[in-house]
Structure 1
């Protein structure tokens, strides 16, 4: 039988890793910065090769050593694209998405799988996304984006994830996004046995109240202190299900706890909500806050399994071929990209069907976060030209290096 190996970057504590393993991939290497997550990976898979450190540091690993691997996969940092953040994109020193895509030039994997937050799917990043698709096309790959909901794959949580899959032309027509599974169990159904494990007689009544799926688990970061279950809106959603979201418990409620008590979740409960249950067994190492971050920042294993299995089927050329949709629709970016010289505002506004010059300026401002945009003014005439992509792709002189070293202790 063929062996399909994967190199996984920004592997975290193993959510994607476990899902890909279930799909039939064998890990040639997992690369992760956080030492606690590396301990968890080693504890669960002692035979795996784990490289600990900055994924972009060639003293940690050399992408060229893994040329022709079946799959390059990863869940690169989310803050550059998060709706809750500043959405700096390519201007954020934590942005490794473009760097990960660039490794395709060296490794030439059979397929690429990258996942990130829903924010990357927003209009703000249309130019960024199209640049990624165009670059992969230049490298000989056909790519497609898709927003997947974890709740469509048996995970009792909202958790939308934006997925990029790129394949070589022979395999790409056979890639089909995984079909949604039946609705997941409710939070109460998922956790009732764990809530009752300490003898709490109110667990069943609590489970009846917790009759929905969870809001997105937010693992948080070293920058923002201890563990809780997310921002204000998420805390209200948890409260509606009878959960105290202001922190985590060390253990489930003990016997004698009042029936109307509002419990906190334990790390074991959060892991189950993330999809670590049943066929997805995993142990987490470290202190409580570290374990929660490892769990909360993960790609749910059932979703990774579903996408990994779809890639595996494309390798086997199963099913009917189709055409992947690798076009984006940011008309301003497309017009600038296709022009050799400077472009007038009138032409850009016509291409985007705009009638407000202020809206054009706003769009140019957003685009300039990710690309150099040259502006030439002659008298009352202004023209624009698209310059280089700002993202870190491995440049020795990129500002990312100094910023990374300065903030490394807070990166997670």
Structure 2
């Protein structure tokens, strides 16, 4: 921990930090970086530039931003950062994305389980990890339960919540699946943030930017763009240039009067016809992500020659106002504000009783045995479906008894830092090809 930091500040290490959406929100909630780790050079440069600006304004030391694979101990060592208030991060989304193959722990980019183990080495007071909505699906119920159980072993109460950016002052749907874990001492004080009563539309957010170059059609356009935006898609180095998402998303953008086939260099000019259908600029996309209002300023540099790189930084970010809201809830818990009445981590819809029953049984168990252990709460077909899902992330031994299969839960395939895990070879190959997402 940096001894030069304001002693009243809550400290944090941020992993997979990106260009700083989560960073800014948590900074506004009272957290100050002791370290940020990011793989992408462009995103790390943006993050460093802005965190330095914030630190200078507060007369604080320049923040440490390191570039490299977050799981490489040559880049940083979690055990060297014990005692911080918060470990936060947005670990890679492709292993869980609905738009992808949902390979989970079989995807070399999966770092969720590794992040849990990093928390075990650091022993922060709280952990915040965010990911895509896909991780909330039944496909990953066993994976989620394994995360919760591991946090419990480490002395934390953890739980999940699906939050939408539109509920926190962001003119975009953008559902994100959030995990918050707190030490037992602080967990009773944690409460998930309440949604804002006001929902901002795309027109409200972008009218001034659309009119910046004198376009007479801006006001009419804003009146038609009277809904929140679909989720902005940032893409990766493995794909092409910037656009606003897959075909279905582009159709939704078209209903808002936006051409989703690319990103513009500038807002429409005074000579542009009023009926023109504009593309968004990077500045506009940033505003859709929650940057740009007072307190949420962020410098992405110039777009000249770097439009795609900047768009990816913006599009892949965690909206700062959402991070701000969650950060304030965590900060309040760490300060033990209010009455200790929260049941955080004591149960919820994103748990998996089938995984838990298999784990507690420890030996071969049939579907009938699981049904009995669950008190008949689930039909056999649903138990079999859950076992199939669990088997995609965990080794499962199958033994036939009396013509019926019995199952024994084995090892979690997820990367947790194992020296012999397949992630190492895959990462080395991607690094050689410069195709790391």
- After TM superposition, give the deviation of residue 319 of structure 1 in Å: 1.4
- After TM superposition, give the deviation of residue 277 of structure 1 in Å: 1.5
- After TM superposition, give the deviation of residue 360 of structure 1 in Å: 4.8
CA contact (8 A) 2:166 2:200 kept: no
Q: Deviations over 1:151-196 (max 9, x none)?
A: 1110000011111111111111001111111223211111111111
- Cα RMSD over matched residues? 1.5
Are positions 1:15 and 2:21 aligned together? yes
**TM norm structure 1:** 0.96
| 1-structure distance, mates of 2:10, 2:270 | 49
Q: Deviations over 1:259-294 (max 9, x none)?
A: 100000000000001000221000113610110110
Alignment-derived partner of residue 39 in structure 2: 33
| 2-structure distance, mates of 1:382, 1:170 | 43
Alignment-derived partner of residue 195 in structure 1: 210
Are positions 1:305 and 2:333 aligned together? no
Alignment-derived partner of residue 58 in structure 2: none
Give the count of matched residue pairs.
410
**What does 1:114-153 align with in structure 2 at a 5 Å threshold?**
114-153=129-168
| 2-structure distance, mates of 1:254, 1:209 | 19
- After TM superposition, give the deviation of residue 117 of structure 1 in Å: 0.7
- Which of 71, 91, 98 matches 1:76? 91
| 2-structure distance, mates of 1:411, 1:89 | 17
Q: Deviations over 1:4-51 (max 9, x none)?
A: 110000000000001111111110000000000011112212321011
Show structure 1 runs of 5+ residues with no match: none
CA contact (8 A) 1:151 1:183 kept: no
Alignment-derived partner of residue 163 in structure 1: 178
Alignment-derived partner of residue 55 in structure 2: none
**TM norm structure 2:** 0.91
CA contact (8 A) 2:367 2:384 kept: no
Alignment-derived partner of residue 289 in structure 2: 274
Q: Deviations over 1:57-108 (max 9, x none)?
A: 0111111111111110000000111111111111111100000011122100
Aligned-partner SS, 1:245:
coil
| 2-structure distance, mates of 1:362, 1:303 | 34
| 2-structure distance, mates of 1:371, 1:274 | 36
Show structure 2 runs of 5+ residues with no match: 1-6, 53-61
- Which of 112, 120, 125 matches 1:110? 125
**What does 1:24-63 align with in structure 2 at a 5 Å threshold?**
24-46=30-52, 47-63=62-78
Shift in alpha-carbon separation, 1:355–1:111, aligned structure 2, 3 A: closer
Are positions 1:388 and 2:411 aligned together? yes
CA contact (8 A) 1:370 1:391 kept: yes
| 2-structure distance, mates of 1:373, 1:152 | 40
| 2-structure distance, mates of 1:324, 1:53 | 34
Aligned-partner SS, 2:145:
helix
- Which of 336, 357, 361 matches 1:317? 336
Aligned-partner SS, 1:410:
coil
- Which of 384, 398, 402 matches 1:375? 398
